[in-house]
Structures are given as structure tokens and as C-alpha cells.
């Protein structure tokens, strides 16, 4: 279970007393999640999520994340909303950790997304990007191209423990990305981690988007590239153009691409694959066997990176055919 910080009954009761939620009826740790500790709490006002922010999340970034969720929800996007206490505070402290209570969303994440799920994702992502344009706060993307070389160097030659020759392959790819990374694309708030487990469905419809703790300001099309990697490959590493076409067409119906965005999408997809590959490599090499969360296999993103390197045009993703 990914519960890094234990909360006692007494601590929780004292914490909840500052909210208009009534008494605590039950609470339990949530197994899913990597970065933070989450508890499902039932009060007289209904179910909520208590999130304790662990050391990998910078406390100074929390007002951005919480404020963004409040802003997006007010704009009509289905997402969790931080609950303010009687003094209007969204961010508090419990068990020595910064903490917030978040509204509970009904729904399930989809293990094997279909093209229909991808189409729903595209429309929701476009709505997120459009709604985010009015958000006053900003946060730079620490895991964009400027942050990849430090990750690469932190793993060093040990990268070859994952696959022979991978260290040199990634070094060559990194040089290309640093030299050719597009700099002047439409910018805004992006989710930056919109994997299937961060999107809840009720039937065919998206009931909510969760986990905004990598959200930042960056190229909007980079967020789409992350989703192509996360949603449009099969377990055997085959790219599913039907899913990609559904995602891209649904997105661009609400927010059309500029010519520049269309032209550079393959490069952005390579960069998105590199970003998650490098973090997976680092975690694979540096997570102890006793850790609460098992690191994800980097080889999945090695295969995705190699695929995107072979793509010559966005048309090969199913858009603009």
C-alpha cells in the first residue's frame, strides 16, 4: 500500500473538526498512487479524499495545484475540488505533512482504453487547455527538455543494466531533442501526466480528471504527445492508429492545431517518450526492493521512443489524412 505517512484517529478527528463535514465515520488508506499518501475518508457530509503531500512534492507548488483544480472545476471541467476549512484555507498540515481534503469523484479508470475512450479524452483535454487559459498562476515545467539531461546523467552508465547500449542510444536522442525541440508553440496550463489511471469513467463518459501534481505551463501540444504515448499503444507495443485518430480528431474539433503544432507533433511525442523513459530509468535503478511502490519497466518507453523516431509526419498518427 502506498501510504507513506500514518494518521492516527485522534489526529484525523482534530483535523476534520475545522471543516463543515461533520464527524468522521471511517477512513482507510488508498493503495494506488506513487507520489503522495491518500486516505478515503467518510464523514457525515459524504466521502472525500485526504491527501498528505510527501517529500517529492514541493510545498511551494501546492497553491498552484490546488488553485488550478478549483479554477478548472469552476470552469466546468470535471475534476476534484479542494475543500476549504472554516477559515477559507485549502492547505493545512497533519502528521507533519502538508495536507488537503479533496472532493471524491465516482468512476473507474480504464485498463484497456478503446478508441471511444480516447475520443472522450481528446475532448476533455481540449476543454482543460481552454479552461486553463484564464488561470492567473503559473508554474514552469521542471521535466521539460531542460530537465532531461540531469536525469540522464544521474543514471549514467548504469542505464545499460536495463538494455545493452541504451546509455549511448539515449545520449544521441537527447542531443537531437535538445537541438530540435520546438520553442514557440501555443502555451498554457497542461496536466503533464494524463495517463489512463488519472481519468475516471462512468460508462462511456469521463466522470473526472485527477492527479494534477505535475501540472505546469508548457506547450499545449506537448500534453497531447504525452497522451499519445499513454493511451495509444497496445500491450505488445504496437501503435494503435485508430485510437490516436480518435484522440486527435476529438481534440482538434474543440481546439484546432496551428500549422506549427501539426508539423512538430512527432518530435513532441519523441520528447514525451524520453521524459517518461528517463524518470522510469532513474526509479528502476534507485528504488529499493523494500519500497512500497514497484517501479515501472523502462523498456515500455524504449519501444515507444523508437516508434516515434520512425514517424515522419503527424499524418502517420491519423490526423490530416
Of the residues 82, 103, 124, the one at which a domain ends = 103
pLDDT > 60? residue 269: yes
pLDDT > 90? residue 12: yes
Instruction: Enter the C-alpha cell of residue 316.
Output: 502517420
| Whole-structure pTM value | 0.94
The whole-chain average pLDDT of the chain stands at 94
Would 24 be classed as within a structural domain? yes
Instruction: Decide if 10 contacts 1 (C-beta within 8 A).
Output: no
Task: Identify whether residues 133 and 254 lie together within a single domain.
Answer: yes
pLDDT > 90? residue 321: no
Would 1 be classed as within a structural domain? no
- C-alpha closest to that of 120 among 279, 254, 214, 238: 254
What three-state secondary structure class fits 192?
Answer: coil
pLDDT of residue 56: 76
pLDDT in tens, 174-205: 999 999 999 999 999 999 999 999 999 999 89
Instruction: Enter the C-alpha cell of residue 4.
Output: 507513506
pLDDT > 70? residue 290: no
Task: Identify whether residues 37 and 171 lie together within a single domain.
Answer: no
Cα separation, 109 vs 91, in Å, equals 27
Would 274 be classed as within a structural domain? yes
Residue 22 belongs to domain spanning: 9-103
pLDDT in tens, 98-144: 999 999 999 999 999 999 999 999 999 999 999 999 999 999 999 99
Would 110 be classed as within a structural domain? no
**DSSP H or E stretch at residue 47:** strand 46-52
- C-alpha closest to that of 302 among 280, 283, 277: 277
CATH code of residue 143: 3.90.1200.10
Would 221 be classed as within a structural domain? yes
- Number of domains the chain contains: 2
Cα separation, 287 vs 289, in Å, equals 7
CATH code of residue 67: 3.30.200.20
Would 56 be classed as within a structural domain? yes
Task: Identify whether residues 129 and 24 lie together within a single domain.
Answer: no
Would 160 be classed as within a structural domain? yes
pLDDT of residue 34: 64
Contact partners, residue 282, CB within 8 Å, separation at least 6: 151, 154, 155
Cα separation, 6 vs 24, in Å, equals 16
Taking CA atoms, 104 is separated from 52, 55, 190, in Å, by 15, 24, 22
Instruction: Enter the C-alpha cell of residue 18.
Output: 475545522
**DSSP H or E stretch at residue 190:** strand 187-190
Task: Identify whether residues 137 and 98 lie together within a single domain.
Answer: no
Task: Identify whether residues 151 and 228 lie together within a single domain.
Answer: yes
Instruction: Decide if 271 contacts 145 (C-beta within 8 A).
Output: yes
Task: Identify whether residues 179 and 293 lie together within a single domain.
Answer: yes
pLDDT in tens, 46-94: 999 999 998 778 899 999 999 999 999 999 999 999 999 999 999 999 9
Task: Identify whether residues 146 and 171 lie together within a single domain.
Answer: yes
Amino acid at each position: 500500500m502506498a501510504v507513506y505517512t500514518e494518521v492516527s484517529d485522534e489526529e484525523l478527528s482534530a483535523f476534520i473538526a475545522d471543516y463543515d463535514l461533520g464527524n468522521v465515520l471511517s477512513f482507510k488508506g488508498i493503495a494506488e498512487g506513487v507520489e503522495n499518501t491518500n486516505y478515503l475518508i467518510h464523514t457525515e457530509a459524504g466521502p472525500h479524499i485526504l491527501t498528505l503531500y510527501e517529500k517529492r512534492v514541493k510545498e511551494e507548488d501546492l497553491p498552484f495545484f490546488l488553485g488550478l483544480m478549483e479554477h478548472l472545476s469552476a470552469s466546468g471541467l470535471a475534476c476534484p475540488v479542494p475543500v476549504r476549512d472554516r477559515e477559507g484555507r485549502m492547505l493545512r498540515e497533519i502528521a507533519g505533512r502538508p495536507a488537503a481534503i479533496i472532493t471524491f469523484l465516482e468512476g473507474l479508470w480504464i485498463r484497456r482504453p478503446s478508441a471511444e475512450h480516447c475520443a472522450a479524452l481528446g475532448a476533455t483535454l481540449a476543454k482543460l487547455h481552454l479552461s486553463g487559459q484564464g488561470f492567473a498562476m503559473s508554474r514552469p515545467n521542471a521535466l521539460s527538455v531542460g530537465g532531461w539531461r540531469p536525469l540522464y546523467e544521474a543514471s549514467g552508465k548504469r542505464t545499460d543494466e536495463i538494455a545493452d547500449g541504451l546509455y549511448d542510444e539515449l545520449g544521441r536522442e537527447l542531443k537531437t531533442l535538445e537541438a530540435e525541440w520546438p520553442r514557440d508553440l501555443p502555451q498554457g496550463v497542461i496536466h503533464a501526466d494524463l495517463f489512463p489511471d488519472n481519468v475516471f469513467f462512468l460508462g462511456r463518459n469521463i466522470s473526472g480528471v485527477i492527479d494534477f501534481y505535475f501540472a505546469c505551463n508548457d506547450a499545449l501540444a506537448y500534453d497531447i504527445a504525452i497522451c499519445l504515448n499513454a493511451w495509444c499503444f497496445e500491450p505488445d507495443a504496437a501503435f494503435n492508429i485508430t485510437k490516436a485518430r480518435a484522440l486527435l480528431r476529438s481534440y482538434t474539433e474543440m481546439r484546432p492545431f496551428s500549422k506549427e503544432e501539426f508539423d512538430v507533433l512527432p518530435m513532441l511525442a519523441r520528447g514525451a517518450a524520453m521524459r517518461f523513459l528517463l524518470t522510469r530509468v532513474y526509479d528502476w535503478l534507485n528504488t529499493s526492493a523494500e519500497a512500497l511502490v514497484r517501479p515501472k519497466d523502462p523498456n515500455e518507453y524504449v519501444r515507444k521512443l523508437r516508434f516515434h523516431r520512425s514517424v515522419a509526419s503527424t499524418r502517420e498518427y491519423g490526423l490530416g489524412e
